[in-house]
Amino acid sequence: MSNIIGNHVAGSRLSQTGGTLQDVFNPSTGDVSGQIRLSSAAELDDVVKVASEAALGWGATPPMKRAQVMFRFKRLLEENADKIASTISSEHGKTHQDALGEVSRGLEAVEFSCGIPHLLKGSFSEQAAASIDVYSIPQALGVVAGITPFNFPAMVPLWMIPNALACGNSFILKPSERDPSVTLILADLLNEAGLPDGVFNVVQGDKVVVDAILDNPDIMAVSFVGSTPVAEYIYTRGAANGKRVQALGGAKNHMIIMPDADMGQVVDALMGAGYGSAGERCMAVSVPVPVGEKVADDLMDRMIPLVENLPVGPPTDTNAAMGPVITRQSLDRITSLLQSGIDQGAKLLVDGRGIKVPGHENGFFIGASLFDHVTPKMDIYKEEIFGPVLSTVRVTDYEAAIKLVHGNPYANGVAIFTRDGDAARDFVNRIEVGMVGVNVPIPVPVGYHSFGGWKKSIFGSHHIYGPDTIHFYTRLKAVTSRWPTGIKAGAEYNFPMMS
């Protein structure tokens, strides 16, 4: 296999000779498209030494000069967006337009990082007491790391990398083993933008590298996005080793459909939010919640023909609305959960199993599926399916919808569709979920706000990107200063007071 995907360290792509090789697949064909060389814990530790050395100079670089690198990086991302999207599609399977959308949303975080010097100004209090000034300055942590998921191989790293770098840290990225190539493109573009060697590094690997990141004492903070069990593991182990950790986990996102909602808008929103990217989004709507039997019946009547005719195909098919799922294992898990829904009493109105895409018979394709009469006790409701499956839960009234959402252990995203401002305002204020949409199905905040759920959808106190990124990637130093002029002689034995 000629396409060996390795690390990117100190400004160069490395061709390691040791380490286990693991196949990387093209989900549209089922063929092996390359192999990733898994790094060892010792290799990770060597990269940390490189990043530690680079962090010294980079942290001392004026913030505006760091921002200028981010400006150039932003321009290069825009110029290479099509190439990046094609790489995403080839290893992930999402349509080209969907991949371009991913790059665009990642660019928002890069744009935010360009303005970080303004947010690193700190604060100053002159004459806090006689001849005493007090000021606070946010300073870089040093070496930080990111562990990112397969479903957004460009966007999620871009949520972390530019903000951490603009704050003056060096960064080590451990991308998903399933679609690792795009991160090497990002590394090349950062080098082209003028980032000094060693400030950003990519280490390919599996759990061995993850554990090495969590255990290495010179890595000060870890950002993670993935499933809830892994997020909890990373938070627990990282925090036990004294690290800052932000670990974003899974989701079960509900969409409440009130009787007064615009049903045409609801259907369009559900189709895109439920089946876009084959449902492999942590912010995908997976549970439609129609309020009242009439609303539910109307919704199902409208949805069935659209779901049945949703075009599925490879990223090269410009007519395809949905591509394959990431792996054969994911496909098998989704089909198993579909069968469990039937066995547990849900009504499968549209069955996406067994779909064949001409010319791509070995691809990891599954059609869109639609369940009705799902209950909270069923596995298809309790588990994050991470596939193109909508599980409709009917409720009698608005209060029952609130209770349903609050009874779920996840609290990543939620939406309400209504024309009633009172209902919307009450919903926004009362609902115990981190990101809320009002007539917006996927309420992912723009880059100058911060992204994060509540409850089992996040571990750690910091949300990702936006203003919270400053608090996560820097530590505050407070300085109290007084110069000799005006100082009275004699020791003070009482606790100092600023009066």
Is residue 1's pLDDT more than 50? no
Average pLDDT, the chain: 95
Q: Within a domain: residue 210?
A: yes
pLDDT single digits (tens) 179-204: 999 999 999 999 999 999 999 999 99
CATH number (domain holding residue 403): 3.40.309.10
pLDDT single digits (tens) 385-430: 999 999 999 999 999 999 999 999 999 999 999 999 999 999 999 9
- 34 alpha carbon, distance to own chain's centre: 25
Q: What integer pLDDT is reported at residue 487 of this predicted model?
A: 65
DSSP for 159-188? HHHHHHHHTT-EEEEE--SSS-HHHHHHHH
CATH number (domain holding residue 93): 3.40.605.10
Average pLDDT over residues 69-86: 98
pLDDT single digits (tens) 145-164: 999 999 999 999 999 999 99
- pTM, rounded to two decimals: 0.95
Tokens of 52: 């530690």
DSSP strand pairing (32-37 vs 143-147): unpaired
Strand order in the sheet with 253-257: 285-290, 253-257, 413-417, 435-438
Instruction: Give yes or no: residues 299 and 236 share one domain.
Output: no
Contact predicate 106/159, CB 8 Å: yes
pLDDT over 70, % of the chain: 98
Instruction: Give yes or no: residues 50 and 18 share one domain.
Output: yes
Q: Within a domain: residue 80?
A: yes
Q: What integer pLDDT is reported at residue 490 of this predicted model?
A: 73
pLDDT single digits (tens) 447-482: 999 999 999 999 999 999 999 999 999 999 999 999
Q: What integer pLDDT is reported at residue 2 of this predicted model?
A: 63
Q: What integer pLDDT is reported at residue 315 of this predicted model?
A: 94
Is-catalytic flag, 114? no
Instruction: Give yes or no: residues 192 and 260 share one domain.
Output: no
Q: What integer pLDDT is reported at residue 499 of this predicted model?
A: 59
pLDDT single digits (tens) 243-283: 999 999 999 999 999 999 999 999 999 999 999 999 999 99
pLDDT single digits (tens) 31-66: 999 999 999 999 999 999 999 999 999 999 999 999
Instruction: Give yes or no: residues 264 and 133 share one domain.
Output: no
Instruction: Give yes or no: residues 369 and 425 share one domain.
Output: yes
Instruction: Give yes or no: residues 408 and 468 share one domain.
Output: no
Q: What integer pLDDT is reported at residue 351 of this predicted model?
A: 98
Q: Within a domain: residue 445?
A: no
Number of independent structural domains in the chain: 2
Instruction: Give yes or no: residues 257 and 242 share one domain.
Output: no
pLDDT single digits (tens) 418-435: 999 999 999 999 999 999
Instruction: Give yes or no: residues 335 and 200 share one domain.
Output: no
Instruction: Give yes or no: residues 411 and 263 share one domain.
Output: yes
Q: Within a domain: residue 397?
A: yes
Instruction: Give yes or no: residues 98 and 185 share one domain.
Output: yes
Q: Within a domain: residue 393?
A: yes
Contact predicate 224/172, CB 8 Å: no
Q: Within a domain: residue 390?
A: yes
Instruction: Give yes or no: residues 262 and 196 share one domain.
Output: no
Tokens of 483: 């110069």
Q: Within a domain: residue 496?
A: no
Catalytic residue among 172, 282, 337, 338: 282
Q: Within a domain: residue 486?
A: no
pLDDT single digits (tens) 475-494: 999 999 998 765 666 777 77
Instruction: Give yes or no: residues 27 and 118 share one domain.
Output: yes
* Per-residue CA distances from 318 to 77, 85, 277 (Å): 23, 14, 14
pLDDT single digits (tens) 10-35: 999 987 777 899 999 999 999 999 99
Domain that residue 472 falls in: 4-249+457-479
